Structures are given as C-alpha cells and as structure tokens.
Amino acid sequence: MSLKPLTLWTLLGHAGSPNPWKVLMILEELKIPYETKPTELGDLKKEPYESINPNGRVPALEDPNTGITIWESGAILEYLVDTYDKQLNISFAAGSKEYYESKQWLHYQTSGQGPYFGQAAWFTIYHPEKVPSAVERYVNEIRRVSGVLNRSLQNKEYLVGGKFSYVDAAFVPWFEIATLLWSNEIDLEKNFPHVHSWLNRIKARPAIAKTIEEKEKATAAQGK
Ligand SMILES: N[C@@H](CCC(=O)N[C@@H](CS)C(=O)NCC(=O)O)C(=O)O
C-alpha cells in the first residue's frame, strides 16, 4: 500500500520544540511518509491555523489517507500507532493490560512530564524577571518525575510489556532539553541511573537516533 505523505505542523525557527519532535520519532519508527509545515509562532493563534488546531499550538497532523486531522501530541501518537502499527511493533493489542499501561504512561508524559519540564524551561530561559523560587519548584518537579520513572525502570528495560514502545519515545525530547539546560542541577547518570540507561537504549534505535540528529542539525542551522 502506498501512502500519501502526512502533514505535520511544527514551529518555524524552533527545531528543538519537544512536542512536534515526539511525533517525528514515531513517524520515523513506523516509516510513514510525511512532510513538515514549519509555521511562524505569530501565525499559530489565528486563522487559518486555528481551524486546524483551535488551541493554537503545534503539533497538528493531517492524514490525507484517512481524512483525519488531529492535534495534541499524545492523541497524535495514539492515532499513528492505532492506524499504522497493525503489527504491534511499538504498541500493544487493544484491550490488553499493556495497552492500558501504555496509555497510563502516555498520560503521565503529557500531563506529568511535559508541563513541569515546560514550566522549568519557561522560568529558566524566557520569563522576563528572574524568579529563583519558580525555577526551584519546577526543577524539583523534574527530579520528582525522574524519580518516579527511575523506580519504575529498576527491574525493566522499557516502561511497558518488556519491549520498546511509543510511550518510551514520548519521554525523550524533554529529557534531551533537561540535559542541555539543567546538567548542573540534575545528574541523571548518578541520581537516576535507570532513567539514564533507559534513555540511552531508546536513543540507540536508528529511527530515534536519526530524528535527534536531524533536530540537532536544524537547531544548529537556526543558531538557537
Ligand atoms: N499539550 C500540547 C502542548 C503543545 C505545545 O505546548 N506546543 C508548543 C511547542 S512544543 C507550542 O506550540 N508553543 C507555541 C505557543 O505556545 O504559542 C501537546 O502535547 O501537543
């Protein structure tokens, strides 16, 4: 079956934005053809983009093969594996214990990791005033979230079902950013060794390594 390329909306000039990058990893893992539509930050919260995503953020995905347009990175990952991973290479059979566990971890990533790491980044880099107590609160949350993962990964290589799945990949982009921004405050290898080796296992996968390499090239090219 030959697929028409899917369109993924990303942020122009912000190649490091973690949420589109999460989707790119899964498109690469599943070898789905796609094109990206880098969009100016100033164009997200107005038409025509708000008709694609009323929340005015990226990513959003349009699939001409099914006629479905979808936003929210977690929902996009679920859409991609439900539609294009029928062999269950990186997902689990609908209704199984692992299926619900993978959703549990995905919800944890989108509600537990993303917002806290995101606020830590905001108060570390973008907030106009320096607010040390806010930075401390959110960097502590990064430690807490990392601790939850570290305990869960103590006796296993991946989060669910003894194999790599889409939920493992979902956590990588924010940890890459954490390594860049808070390596003085948080030593993953020393304090969260199971998280550290889990991330290395995931990043050794060709599709993930390729996505990270392309992101680094794009970030270097835009100079931020
Ligand atoms: N919950 C959303 C978060 C999306 C999000 O925050 N995207 C960022 C880029 S990683 C964005 O669009 N920022 C631009 C803005 O806030 O205007 C998701 O997981 O898709």
pLDDT digits (tens, 9 = 90+) for 147-174: 999 999 999 999 999 999 999 999 999 9
Is pLDDT at 224 greater than 60 in this prediction? no
Cα of 103 vs centre of ligand 1, distance in Å, is 20
pLDDT in tens, 105-147: 999 999 999 999 999 999 999 999 999 999 999 999 999 999 9
Q: Is 113 in the pocket of ligand 1 (CB under 6 A)?
A: no
84's enclosing H/E stretch is helix 73-84
DSSP state of 91: S
Residue 34: φ, ψ to 5°: -155, 160
- For ligand 1, is residue 80 a contact (CB within 6 Å)? no
Right CATH for 97-207 from 1.20.1050.10, 1.20.140.10, 1.10.357.10, 3.90.700.10: 1.20.1050.10
Pick the residue whose CA is nearest to atom 16 on ligand 1.
57
CA distance 53 to 38: 14
Domain 6-87 fold is: Glutaredoxin (3.40.30)
Strand-pairing partners, residue 36, are 8
Distance from Cα 154 to the centre of ligand 1, integer Å? 31
pLDDT score, position 179: 94
| Å from CA of 162 to ligand 1 middle | 31
Is the pLDDT assigned to residue 20 strictly greater than 80? yes
pLDDT tier at 92, thresholds 50, 70, 90 = very high
d(CA 36, CA 5): 10
Give whole-number Cα distances, 209 to 29, 50, 182, in Å.
10, 32, 22
What confidence score (pLDDT) does residue 222 get? Answer: 83
Q: Residue 145 has what DSSP assignment?
A: H
Query: What mean pLDDT value characterizes the chain?
Result: 96
Closest CA to 74 of 19, 17, 112: 19
> How is the chain split into domains, by residue range?
6-87, 97-207
The predicted pLDDT at position 81 comes to 98
pLDDT of residue 66: 98
Strand 34-39 and strand 68-71: the pairing is unpaired
